[in-house]
A = this chain, B = another copy of it.
Amino acid sequence: MTDKEFFKVTSLERVLDLIRTFPCVNEEVLPLDQCVGRILFQDTVSKIDLPEFNRATMDGYAVRAQSTFGASESLPALLKIVGEVEMGEVPTVSVQPGEAVRIATGGMLPDGADSVVMIEHAHALDEHTLEVFKSVAPLQHVIEVGEDFGREEQVLAKGSRIRPQEMGVLAALGQTHVTVYRQPTVATISSGDEIVPIAQNPSLSELRDVNAYTLAGLIRLSGGIPLYLGIARDNFDELHGLCKNALDQADMVLISGGSSVGSRDFTLEVIEALPDAEILVHGVSISPGKPTILAASKQKSIWGLPGQVTSAMIVFHVMVRPLLEKISGLSEDRLLAEREVSAVLSRNLASVQGREDYVRVKLVHRENQIYADPILGKSGLIHTMVKADGLVRIDINSEGLDKGTHVRVIAF
């Protein structure tokens, strides 16, 4: 252990810049019903007008708006009912001035009609005679041809996440299959002589391999596919072998443990010995998470994460997840914004200048505001993460944050 060996730390801003240099994974074609949460590989351009016909948006009567002008409860307009629109069929009737045609929500507007009188604002005196109590404007309760999306219009952008509504758009366009970015595979390796598989009863001084599970969960929730490669003891060849294996099979590699200063720090040595390896970051000016390593080998990222479980999780949220989402194809404007929520800090938070602090908070809903309650307790305790719903950042140039400050929270 070399005493007083300080890291030449990198700013978080610089790390997030480096993240942009890693290439995205390639694409695959999936059935639409399996696409939720995935990222679009290309822009979607509509080949049709949506809707393809003028549709009623209310149950009622298709009319010419003009026929209703001036109508009121005391002086209803009297219209002649000349037919009905059958759902799924092209109307055979047309609407002349003074006429009305029964129509249900989603029905195709007959020729001559430009608006729909809601059923609540009309009363049929008999089969052929309608009283209308309220005037409608042209196009009222109607969606016009192409009003949702026009032909040749770009409807969805490459790099968007496919939510249920984007699935709906693709379904409306008849896209049964969609080209999306592949989900990146992320290999994880736990390192350290003290780490044992969780099924094993650790002897005193040994620890179960908790990072294998927390990281798998984080990778899964960030859209990646976790690939656990096992535990490397503090031995160059063992860790080197697993890393080479990882690079062959995965798009990104996470090594937990072994990244703190010390005699057991094989991680850096091992990474340096990988093909075309370049150490990009060794130490980041954040707390917790300072001893983080970021390296590249064959355009793939390799992270050395703290062995300590809660620190590794926070480094994941702050840096690894943005990189994972970037190579997943997610567009830059969504990269950091997607999981941030705003809250009001419920007490003062102190900090040390010269590093970014990430403080665990619980989000508490009170009336129309969400408050961020800082979680007390030693940062190494996993129960502080169980109690927490997110992280508040304290800026590198700040000495702390005052109670009542509006803060942005990385929610988890």
Contacts and interface: CB of A to CB of B under 8 A. Distances in A.
Given A264-B87, A369-B406, A213 B32 contact: yes
Contact of A213 (B168, B203, B220, B221): B168
A149 B307 CA distance: 19
A406 B59 contact: no
Copies in the complex: 2
A385 interface: yes
A275 interface: no
A155 B383 contact: yes
Interface of A: 1, 3-6, 32-33, 36-37, 50-53, 55, 57, 59, 86-91, 102, 104-108, 119-120, 122-124, 143, 147-149, 155-156, 162-172, 174-176, 192-195, 198-218, 220-221, 226, 228, 234, 260-262, 264, 306-309, 313, 337, 340-343, 365, 368-370, 378-383, 385-386, 388, 405-408, 411-412
Given A53-B204, A90-B205, A193-B86, A216 B169 contact: no
Contacts of A4: 119-120, 122-123
Contact of A33 (B216, B308, B407): B216
Nearest to A383: B148
Contact of A380 (B124, B143, B370, B380): B143
Contacts of A412: 163-165
B193 A87 contact: yes
